[in-house]
A and B are shown apart, each in its own frame.
Chain A
Amino acid sequence: MALTRLGLNQSINLASNTTGTLAVGNGGTGLTSGTTDQFLKFTGSTTLAPAEAGGGKVLQVVTQPKNSDSFTTGGFSTLFTCAITPSATSSKILVLASIQYNNYGNGSTNYPHGTVQLLNHGDTTLCKAYALFGGNLGGDSTDQFDSSISLTALDSPNSTSARTYKVSYKAGAGRFGIMGAGERENGSSLTLIEIGA
């Protein structure tokens, strides 16, 4: 065994003069290595191990702003889409849509209204919102009304293939517009957030 005598004020070279691992109880990790991007996790009161982060973490975010104004007088049609590729089948997708809309009587109704809905990859409706210009407000068939709505849904795609979510809209009466241009630039959007299990 080689022994080194340290003089007063001399240091031990930790880079070359130590071997083994320092135990958790002595302030170490008990580890010789880990894996990139892993975290340290207590696996017992005095043991640590490399591990993935806990559940509920945000894995990725994708957003699609709408930078045009679109109008309909008809039934449901796709307005805009956003795609995401889940990293695990156990992930959930939080779907957020922020919509600015315009109701116009189009010269034919005092109560224009429309509907917006969120659809998942299989075209299943996740949620809807109803936009009505009525009550004591709608008094003339050439009146207009602008407002905004938000739609939120949690989807479980159970897939690691690309999943496309859609916003579609329809007019119930009059002309229904979804806005994203001019003074409402990028004012409507669809955002997808992958949440790890």
Chain B
Amino acid sequence: MTDFDKMTTSIEKLQANSQYTIDYNGGTVNEALFNSINWISTNNLTWAAVKAEMDKL
């Protein structure tokens, strides 16, 4: 599982059924990438919370 997979998996785990689009071309998975997410549904997550969940995977 890549860091990108961990990020989207963590988002799903913390905020199930979230709807969004994102472009990702293999760079570093960080806060900047998280902030580039185009949210379709309402987002209440922070990068810190997602990163903490990613670190458990």
Residues of A within 8 A of B (CB): 68-75, 77, 104, 106-108, 142, 144, 175, 181-182
Contacts and interface: CB of A to CB of B under 8 A. Distances in A.
A74 B40 contact: yes
B32 interface: no
Interface of B: 1, 5, 8-9, 12-13, 16, 18-26, 40-41
B36 to A, nearest CB: 11
- Nearest 8 interchain pairs by C-beta: A74-B19, A107-B9, A74-B40, A181-B25, A72-B21, A106-B12, A108-B12, A68-B23
A7 to B, nearest CB: 80
Contacts of A77: 21, 40
Given A68-B23, A72-B21, 11 more contacts: A69-B25, A69-B26, A70-B21, A72-B20, A73-B8, A73-B18, A74-B40, A77-B21, A108-B12, A142-B9, A182-B25
Nearest to B39: A74
A106 B5 CA distance: 7
Q: Is the interface of A mostly helix, strand, loop or mixed?
A: loop
A75 B19 contact: yes
A106 B14 CA distance: 12
Contact of A182 (B22, B26, B41): B26
A73 B9 CA distance: 11
A114 B24 CA distance: 18
28 contacts: A68-B23, A68-B25, A69-B23, A69-B26, A70-B21, A70-B22, A70-B23, A70-B24, A71-B8, A71-B21, A71-B22, A71-B23, A71-B24, A73-B12, A73-B19, A74-B20, A74-B21, A77-B40, A104-B8, A106-B9, A107-B9, A107-B12, A107-B13, A108-B12, A142-B5, A142-B9, A175-B8, A182-B25
